[in-house]
Structure 1
Amino acid sequence: MIRILSICKGMIDMKYNCLKLMSIFLCSLFLIVFLTGCWNQKELDDIAMVTSVGVDKVPDEDTYLFTFQIIIPRQISSVQGGGGGDQASVTVISQKGKTLFEALRRAAEKIPDQLYFPHTRLFVFSEDVAKDGLKDFWDFFERDHEMRPLSTILIAKEIEAKTVLTIMTPIEKNPSDSLLDKSKMTEKRSAYTIRADIDDIIKAIGTPGKEPFIGGVKVIGNSQEAQSDNIKQIEPKAIISTNNIGLFRGGKLQGWLNGNSARGLLWVLGKVKSTVVNVKCNNKEGSINVEILRSKAQIHPQIINGRPRIQVTIRSEANIGETGCFINIVDPNEIVQIQEKVEKRIKKEADEAIHVAKEYQSDVFGFGAAIYRSYPGKWGKWEKDWKDYFSEIEVEVLTDVSIRRSGLRNQPLKNR
């Protein structure tokens, strides 16, 4: 009996020692993992936080001019605290380089701190750079661990990217924040542009039968005075317009969709979140503003007589936002006529976008990708020369609009 008890005690001691060793091992592993997490930490005093980057071509040189917009920490804190006055919250430095990687290293010639990119939300390329091609930049964006895949890409139309990043606005102290907010609201409220981030563009490049598109920005007014006087006067010297979309093919900018044709792209892609469509009254003077609440689109690839064909169906729900003529809104026939007018307007804008994209042989709609998914065996025959097939492809656009509500008033005020 004593021997049995002795054996049991030994087994208990052994189990206890094993648990003790296991606990020590787990604690050591925990410390190794978490206490070494700051091995590459950077002090705030040693870094310059880059909020946006502009890329321009240097005339008569085989190089680029990179502009880095950098936050001034003390100015940001003073703005949040109610101070700051007319002082900008950011500054810019520019550096030449054949590549972005080279320019980053050479930036030490102009600023003592290390450029820091995890907070970079915006890249702006000039139109000339985009026409030459952006493929080399995508390689760096994918490789560098500091680059955010959700950073927005924009093209500066008919102006330098550096100028876009230096135009001040009275509402937002940071020009890049103002530009991003304006682009976001234009997409959300009027659907005349669409934002594309690094991840979106790289995915489009890697998708057979699809080309990327990038939103454009254009400066209206005196861009030179706007770099300082915009925040000192009630009426800005210049404003930035964001109702353009650049069409790409083979990584190079080919042309633009502007205004209604830009919105046409969003109709086809089913990306219209909200917008207003203006149509004429029925045989009367004035117009009716119809608010689009939501819109969806479906792309149906077909093969007719051995040739690819596309059918696009766009369905939208809407409200009557404003009437400028005498109509009986409670009359179903009047509503049907308004719906038909809006349907024709949507179809016209979609057809216009498709026509322009065909001219530039830029399949930003992903018609080729839709054919590839539905007819993978046939796609191999068309893939090599898809840009030529795309420029001649038959596209049928069908639209359907349902007006749900007419607002709080049944009759226009003029009818009373």
Structure 2
Amino acid sequence: MKKKAVLALFSLILLCGCWDSTNIEELNMAIGFAVDKGDDGHKLKLSMQVLVPQKIEQESSVKDPTKIIETSGDSIHQIFRTTALKTHRIFAQQLRVYLFSQDLINENNFDLVINQFIRDNETRRGSLVFMASEKPGDMLKINDDGQPAASTLYDISSNTKTTIRMFKPVSLGDISSAMQNNVSFAIPKVSVSQGKLMLDGASIIQNKRFLTNISPLAVQSYNLLTGDATGGVIEFQYEHSIYSFEIFKIKHNIDTHKTASGKYEFDVSVELDGRLSEDWNERENSFNEKYLQEIEKVVAHRLEENVKDFIGELQHEIKADICGFYQKASIAYPKEFRKEAKHWDDIFSESDIRYKVNVKIRDFGTKGATQS
């Protein structure tokens, strides 16, 4: 009898349906957050790009299936509560990107700005983070023929195999970890070109504040120095002709040493395999081994010059280790590094960093020589 009663009760529960369900028309699914300095004397302004279910149902006639909700306040949590006064609850489980204002992070510690996002159990720590020198909220309003801005940035960030001048994707969890370890780091920078969003170099964070920006060309040197390059094309000039070298494979190694005086030495060696994908030399002859070897030496020399210039900029102008040399030092000399960690950027700036690259052209396409 008891078994039948339990079975009947269980069946009744199933028939009741989902007691905590929410109508799809009442869902606000955020896919992008932009955080800027606040309006009307407030500290913060949060712009949320939210998917609108009704617009999705009318996708054929609606260009952008999202809306922007903007709210100012003095804390992120209070902004969410204020937003609840004028719209349905915001769900952030599908959040793709965060956009932060340089001005905001220049005036406030980054870890304090993201504090609520990190504490919230619903926050996706894998969401990607970007920096903007312009108003990030306005950037969320830019759509690419119906593609929401948040989705555009998320998709573009996966093109690291196509271009070597793109900074690697950085997640909310990555920057939280970096700030907990109190190390300098960089995140991709977004700008607007001819009404379109584009990734434009990177922004450096030091001591939890915005420090400066680096160009896409500097990002290329960063990727070659750190080994983060996964592909892309290197363009250069030689004897008044333009060449393009496409990277197929990169092998990267760093040897770490310390002198008797306590100075760190890092020997970075890189091997690049790739294709001579473009050759504007009217006398080209890729069938000739000596010609290829000459181009290989030119590519290696140009890259070494560029990377060494970038190292000099990092050490003597920016004075921030965004390349992770601190990780090599902590592994090679753990006891010493524990004492040096608090002022590592100063130690990094005085270190010897030697860079050597070897280039091998494995392919030159279907055309190997130009006839006179």
Normalised by the length of structure 1, the TM-score is: 0.80
Structure 2 residue 211 is matched with structure 1 residue 254: yes
**Per-residue CA distance 1:71-101 (angstroms, 9 max, x = gap):** 111222332xxx125x421110100121211
Matched, 1:103 2:79: yes
Amino acid at match of 2:176: I
Question: Cα deviations across residues 115-174 of structure 1 (Å, max 9, x unaligned)?
Answer: 1100010110011112233101343232211111110000012x100111011212x431
Alignment-derived partner of residue 289 in structure 1: 244
Partner Cα separation in structure 2 for residue 104 and residue 59 of structure 1: 16
Assess, with a 3 A threshold, how the Cα gap between structure 1 residues 96 and 374 changes in structure 2: closer, same or farther: same
Contact 1:67-1:93 at 8 Å conserved across structures: yes
Conservation of the 8 A alpha-carbon contact between 1:263 and 1:349: no
Runs of 4+ with >4 A deviation: 37-41
Matched-pair contact (CA < 8 Å) for 1:49–1:116: yes
Deviations 1:54-86 (CA, angstroms, capped at 9, x unpaired): 01113673511110111111222332xxx125x
Amino acid at match of 1:285: H
Q: Which residue of 2 aligns with 1:356?
A: 313
Whether 1:180 aligns to 2:154 is yes
State the Cα distance separating 1:308 from its structure 2 match. 1.1
Aligned AA (2:250): S
Paired position in structure 2 for 1:317: 273
CA distance in 1, matches of 2:245, 2:198: 23
Match of 1:122 in 2: 97
User: Does the 8 Å contact 1:320/1:403 carry over to 2?
Assistant: yes
| CA distance in 1 between partners of 2:41 and 2:253 (Å) | 46
Identity between Structure 1 and Structure 2 (%): 20
Shift of the 349–44 alpha-carbon distance from structure 1 to 2, 3 Å rule, reads farther
Deviation by residue 1:276-324 (Cα, 9 ceiling, x = unmatched): 112223xx43121111112232222210232112121122111010110
- Structure 1 stretch 391-400 or stretch 343-352: which is displaced more? 343-352
Three-state SS of the structure 1 residue aligned to 2:140 is: helix
The answer to whether the aligner puts 1:201 opposite 2:201 as a matched pair is no
SS in 2 for 1:335: helix
SS at match of 2:84: helix
Pairing 1:263–2:263 present: no
Which of 212, 215, 233 matches 2:188?
A: 215
Q: 1:130 to 1:356 in 2, by over 3 A?
A: farther
Partner of 2:348: 390
- Give yes or no for contact 1:207–1:369 (8 Å, CA) kept in 2: no
Counterpart contact for 1:313–1:397, Cα < 8 Å: yes
Change (3 A) 1:384 1:175: closer
CA displacement, residues 230-267 of structure 1 (integer Å, 9 cap, x when unaligned): xxxxxxxx122313111111211111110211111111
Q: 1:96 to 1:60 in 2, by over 3 A?
A: closer
Q: 2:139 aligns with which of 132, 154, 164?
A: 164
**After the TM superposition, which of the residue ranges 251-260 and 133-142 deviates more from structure 2?**
133-142
1:164 partner amino acid: M
Task: Measure, in 2, the Cα distance between the counterparts of 1:39 and 1:252.
Answer: 46
What residue ranges of structure 1 are gaps of 5+ in the alignment? 1-20, 222-237
| Structure 2 residue 313 is matched with structure 1 residue 333 | no
Q: Distance in 2 between matches of 1:379 and 1:39?
A: 55
Task: Supply the distance in 2 between the matched residues of 1:119 and 1:352 (Cα, whole angstroms).
Answer: 41
Name which of 23, 26, 31 aligns with 1:51: 31
Would the alpha carbon gap of residues 340 and 100 (structure 1) be closer, same or farther in structure 2, given more than 3 Å must change? same
The question of whether the paired residues in 2 share the 8 Å contact of 1:249 and 1:361 is answered with no
Q: Residues 356-415 of structure 1: CA distance to partner in whole angstroms, max 9, x if unpaired?
A: 332222211111121011111221342232121122221111111111111112213xx2
Q: Quick one: which amino acid aligns to residue 310 of structure 1?
A: F
Q: Distance in 2 between matches of 1:207 and 1:333?
A: 49
Measure how far apart 1:41 and its partner are: 4.7
Contact 1:257 1:356 in 2 (8 A): no
TM-score (ref. length: structure 2): 0.89
Provide the rounded CA distance (Å) in 1 between the counterparts of 2:105 and 2:49.
20
TM superposition shift of 1:40? 5.4
Aligned residue pairs total: 361
Q: Which residue of 2 aligns with 1:137?
A: 113
Q: Does 1:298 align with 2:278?
A: no
CA contact (8 A) 2:39 2:45 kept: no
In the other structure, the counterpart of 2:330 is 372
SS of the equivalent of 2:90 reads strand
**Equivalent residues of 2:34, 2:100 under 8 A apart:** yes
Give the unaligned 5+ runs of structure 2. none
Larger-Rg structure: 1
* Structure 1 residues 18-65: Cα deviation after superposition (integer angstroms, max 9, x where no partner): xxx9x99xx9xx99xx99x97755442332111101011136735111
In structure 2, how many angstroms separate the alpha carbons of the residues matched to 1:155 and 1:39? 41
2:25–2:53 Cα contact (<8 Å) kept: no
